[in-house]
Structure 1
Amino acid sequence: MPMQNVIDISQLDVRPVENQLTLAKWYPFENGQLSDAISEENVTRRFIVLFGSELSGSQVAEFVASLESPVECHRICCFEAHQSLPRGIAIEVSSDTDIKDSVRNTARQVGCQGAVLNILPQLSVVGLLVMDMDSTAIEIECIDEIARLADVHDEVASVTAQAMAGQLAFSDSLHQRVAKLKGIPLSLIEPLKANLPLMPGVKELCIALKAHGWHLAIASGGFTWFAQAVQEQLGLDWVFANTLEIADQQLTGKVLGEVVDAQKKAAVLKTLQAEYKIAPEQTLAMGDGANDLVMMAAADLGIAVHGKPKVVEQADTAICQGSLLQVLYFLTVPRPE
């Protein structure tokens, strides 16, 4: 298909879409005006982002044709989020309904992931990312792994699951779980601290953000012992986590000081935003559990990372598979002129 200023989406073919659209150029759709079914007063402009797989033009055409909600497509753009990621696709749309679920489901049908952005935060502008630690920045839940070493894993994991699903207040669950760890020697858990498995792509994401002056923090319901180790590996500016009481080189089963719960996580984000004078549209938060939702709502863009169903449903956007480097898809959509 020859390059042109206006695009007929049905004419895209089976070749990679990046071979059919010039990178970072917005192409207006043919007949891409508001339809009679959508009133101008109620309409909201949004950006659909398709990412995670190398897409053909025909897959993109199938996605547009299959959208369930009433959506008017205006412009499309193919862009590069990172040299190691497949090209992303952005579509500027109008709709008078919530299209988030429709976009995710339709994207899955054509073999990729989909997100809806109401704003376009920019990697090149200084921003703030606050993230959870357990099952977000790292692949494990530290408290569950400590419990495994002490042969109380099933008891602790059961309470963890209730908390992450929002069935139990986080503060209550934390005290219940930590109490079961009483008497565990530090020597038993030192190897865990020394070998924390980072979530794939998180280090590369942090490198990319820091290269553009972003401020990075962890706000975790986990423990300072581990958060500080992650901070060192990722070059984070701040960590906020819970402090385990230790006596005679053993855990006492108690937590010291204020618990870092859902409200504290949100307060951390707001405090850092004010301290660094970050524009609201440049604030991101990401996590996997119900206790991350308040923080994610406080940010302008809340990202569920391999999240529980409730979290994926409520988050602004979600990465349900693959590397955390994919966060860059949400920060590199070219702004239309």
Structure 2
Amino acid sequence: MPMLNMPSLDQLDVRPVENQLTLSKWYEFENAQSVKEGGLAEDSAHCIVLFGTTITGSILLEFLNALALVNIVPTQVCAYQAHEDLPAGVAIMAYFPSGEWPKSDIRQAAGKLGCQGAILPILPQLNTPGLLVMDMDSTVIEIECIDEIARLADVYDEVASVTAEAMAGKLAFNESLHKRVAKLQGIELSLISPLKEDLPLMLGIKQLCEVLKAHQWRLAIASGGFTWFAEALQSRLDLDHVYANTLEIDGQRLTGRVIGEIVDAEKKAEVLNALRERYEVSPGQTLAIGDGANDLVMMAAADLGVAIHGKPKVVEQADAAISEGSLLQFLYFLTVPLP
């Protein structure tokens, strides 16, 4: 796509950026050619995305100034519409200082402007069928199911403390799972049936799944939670597969044990790799989302791993993050126009 000359930065004003830049058109900064001729390695050029609120020309200018303070050199910019229900986002092609990957600088600079920001190591495309593997608890749904079961059984404090340790990476997942499930022994299924029937979806997840399915994407849940709940979500979200742990039941009561293979961090990554191979997913089109330490192996195995309202350790290690707002914003990572 041919480049357009970037309007002078001092002409950017308080109007929304889409009123000042033509959507889906890449503009070159005045320094672009000299930067390219300056001997910078091509692989030091990356895409930064700015999203999450109405971005004005003034906000864009402040963000560009913040990039300059950490020696990031922008060469091209593009405003784009990820979805009709989302404000326009901004993509910036830029060169980074050698050997640096300043994710925290980008996030902090965006946050100060009321936005969110991320560096994309790749540019997956919505229009190319792909694979999205999702954690369930606190990612697809707003709750941790085991904590809610424990609340109903008056053992919430005991279970929640173990959950917190596991999600923060301070306790091996398998050990924490067995410890927590043991505290649920004797709970009647009738007590937790209403929870299964009315799982609170994370804002935007249903709409996101609908958009992805309309573009022939494969969707799966790989969860350290329980099949009882994951299977309830399968039809609601039109998922192709669900993988989770199975609670043992005896006489309509929980026995306090988990049966079958445990879906832990390594198993989640195995699921992702197996589905990528099964569906012959194109390079760069395998994505994973999650919020806890148990999701990091899966996210690292994906072409793009995104933290969703994640714990600090997860946000730090993820390729990108959505820390507030609707999961429909995930489309900002799939709709950046190719330069």
**TM-score, normalised relative to structure 1:** 0.96
**Residue of structure 1 in register with 2:109 after alignment:** 106
For residues 311 and 10 of structure 2, the distance between their equivalents in structure 1, rounded to whole angstroms, comes to 36
Spell out the pairing of 1:1-337 with structure 2 (5 A cutoff): 5-33=5-33, 35=35, 40-41=40-41, 44-67=44-67, 68-95=69-96, 96=98, 97-336=100-339
The residue type paired with residue 317 of structure 1 is A
> What SS does the corresponding residue of 1:208 show, helix, strand or coil?
helix
> What SS does the corresponding residue of 2:31 show, helix, strand or coil?
coil
> What SS does the corresponding residue of 2:284 show, helix, strand or coil?
helix
For residues 163 and 33 of structure 2, the distance between their equivalents in structure 1, rounded to whole angstroms, comes to 49
The residue type paired with residue 91 of structure 1 is I
How many residues matched?
Answer: 333
* TM-aligned CA deviation for residue 40 of structure 1: 1.9
Gaps of 5+ in 1: none
How far does the alpha carbon of each residue in 1:284-315 deviate from its partner, in whole angstroms, 9 at most, with x for none? 00000000000000001000000000000000
The residue type paired with residue 73 of structure 2 is E
> What SS does the corresponding residue of 1:116 show, helix, strand or coil?
strand
CA contact (8 A) 2:169 2:293 kept: yes
* TM-aligned CA deviation for residue 35 of structure 1: 5.0
For residues 325 and 39 of structure 1, the distance between their equivalents in structure 2, rounded to whole angstroms, comes to 39
* TM-aligned CA deviation for residue 15 of structure 1: 0.9
CA contact (8 A) 1:280 1:299 kept: no
* TM-aligned CA deviation for residue 280 of structure 1: 2.8
How far does the alpha carbon of each residue in 1:254-273 deviate from its partner, in whole angstroms, 9 at most, with x for none? 00011000000000000000
Taking a change above 3 Å as real, the CA distance of residues 62 and 206 of structure 1, as seen in their structure-2 partners, is: same
How far does the alpha carbon of each residue in 1:177-201 deviate from its partner, in whole angstroms, 9 at most, with x for none? 0000000000100000001000000
For residues 136 and 187 of structure 2, the distance between their equivalents in structure 1, rounded to whole angstroms, comes to 22
CA RMSD between the two structures = 1.5
- Runs of 4+ in structure 1 deviating by more than 3 angstroms, as ranges, are 33-36
> What SS does the corresponding residue of 1:280 show, helix, strand or coil?
coil
For residues 39 and 267 of structure 2, the distance between their equivalents in structure 1, rounded to whole angstroms, comes to 41
Identity level (%): 64
CA contact (8 A) 1:85 1:326 kept: yes
CA contact (8 A) 2:5 2:30 kept: no
For residues 189 and 34 of structure 1, the distance between their equivalents in structure 2, rounded to whole angstroms, comes to 64
**TM-score, normalised relative to structure 2:** 0.96
CA contact (8 A) 1:32 1:72 kept: no
For residues 47 and 256 of structure 2, the distance between their equivalents in structure 1, rounded to whole angstroms, comes to 48
CA contact (8 A) 1:45 1:118 kept: no
Taking a change above 3 Å as real, the CA distance of residues 42 and 29 of structure 1, as seen in their structure-2 partners, is: closer
> What SS does the corresponding residue of 1:281 show, helix, strand or coil?
coil
CA contact (8 A) 1:121 1:282 kept: yes
Is 235-244 or 89-98 further displaced after alignment?
89-98
* TM-aligned CA deviation for residue 33 of structure 1: 4.2
The residue type paired with residue 334 of structure 1 is P
The residue type paired with residue 60 of structure 2 is V
> What SS does the corresponding residue of 2:5 show, helix, strand or coil?
coil
CA contact (8 A) 1:34 1:94 kept: no
For residues 255 and 271 of structure 2, the distance between their equivalents in structure 1, rounded to whole angstroms, comes to 27
CA contact (8 A) 1:34 1:40 kept: no
How far does the alpha carbon of each residue in 1:120-142 deviate from its partner, in whole angstroms, 9 at most, with x for none? 10000000000000000000000
How far does the alpha carbon of each residue in 1:18-46 deviate from its partner, in whole angstroms, 9 at most, with x for none? 1000000000011124659x852485111
How far does the alpha carbon of each residue in 1:58-107 deviate from its partner, in whole angstroms, 9 at most, with x for none? 11000000124211111100000000000010001111221211110000
CA contact (8 A) 1:7 1:30 kept: no
The residue type paired with residue 205 of structure 2 is V
